Amino acid sequence: MRFPHAACLLGLPLLVACASTDRPAVEPTGWQPQEGWISLFDGESLEGWTPKFAGSPLGHNLRETFRAEGGVLAVSYEHWDGFEGEFGHLVHAHPYEHYRIRMDVRFLGEQVPGGPGWAWRNSGIMVHGQDPASMTLDQSFPVSIEVQLLGGGPEGERSTANLCTPGTHVEMAGELIERHCLNSSSPTFRGDDWVTVEVEVRGNELVRHLVDGEPVLEYRAPQLDPGDADARRLLDAGAPKDLDGGWISLQAESHPVEFRRIELLPL
């Protein structure tokens, strides 16, 4: 079910009113979601999504980085001469608790000059995210759970649908995991082919990552990290430590990436 808007995960105002998502959405030509699934992207516009870049106010689409073109949601660096830490996130309008979200993703093109080495062919799907209206102007990443998306290089192994934890911790096998990133068991995906990534989110009980339909990682008890400055600020404002739901966002981390067929199934 949808995260109750009255609760507003962090006790702060919602970015927009939590209107019903039951209205039909326009889909890219030749594609319709399966029964019960909701399209979060109409293939033609960024309606229902709001950008937030480090150093820019909420709602400013810095250098037209996020675009809807040709049926895909593109992260484009066409108008960038260099990258100076302006990490971006495109945040969906509504918070959710129990759901599955899936999409196709691919990396292409060249990283913008100045992007950090670790951000080469790197993006992410953020779940259980803080209300974007509560992010500070210069905050680089929302406090959230990141399903890290990575493309492989010419050599070596580089899994995708990994876990990173900006301002958060999780538990695995009853143990609190404080490492920032954990690799999944996915294979390496090289080149520009589309890969289907799915995330099953069941409140505070379970989060599971799947790649091309195969489970590659799961964990439980997502929670705020009291040692992180951004998370500490939220806790001080009255946010609960345990994360039961939150906002979904897509990353812009200095490498061009495309998303398509972004759809959600409430559970």
pLDDT one digit per residue (tens) for the chain, 267 residues: 333 333 333 333 333 333 333 333 434 545 667 779 999 999 999 999 999 999 999 999 999 999 999 999 999 999 999 999 999 999 999 999 999 999 999 999 999 999 999 999 999 999 999 999 999 999 999 999 999 999 999 999 999 999 999 999 999 999 999 999 999 999 999 999 999 999 999 999 999 999 999 999 999 999 999 999 999 999 999 999 999 999 999 999 999 999 999 999 999
Fold for the domain defined by 8-266: Jelly Rolls (2.60.120)
The full set of domain ranges for the chain reads 8-266
pTM: 0.88
Residue the block writes with tokens 């009980």 = 205
Could you tell me which residues come within 8 angstroms of residue 153 by beta carbon, excluding any fewer than 6 positions away? 120, 121, 190
Helix (H, G, I), strand (E, B) or coil at 68: strand
Residue 246 contacts residue 129 (beta carbons within 8 Å): yes
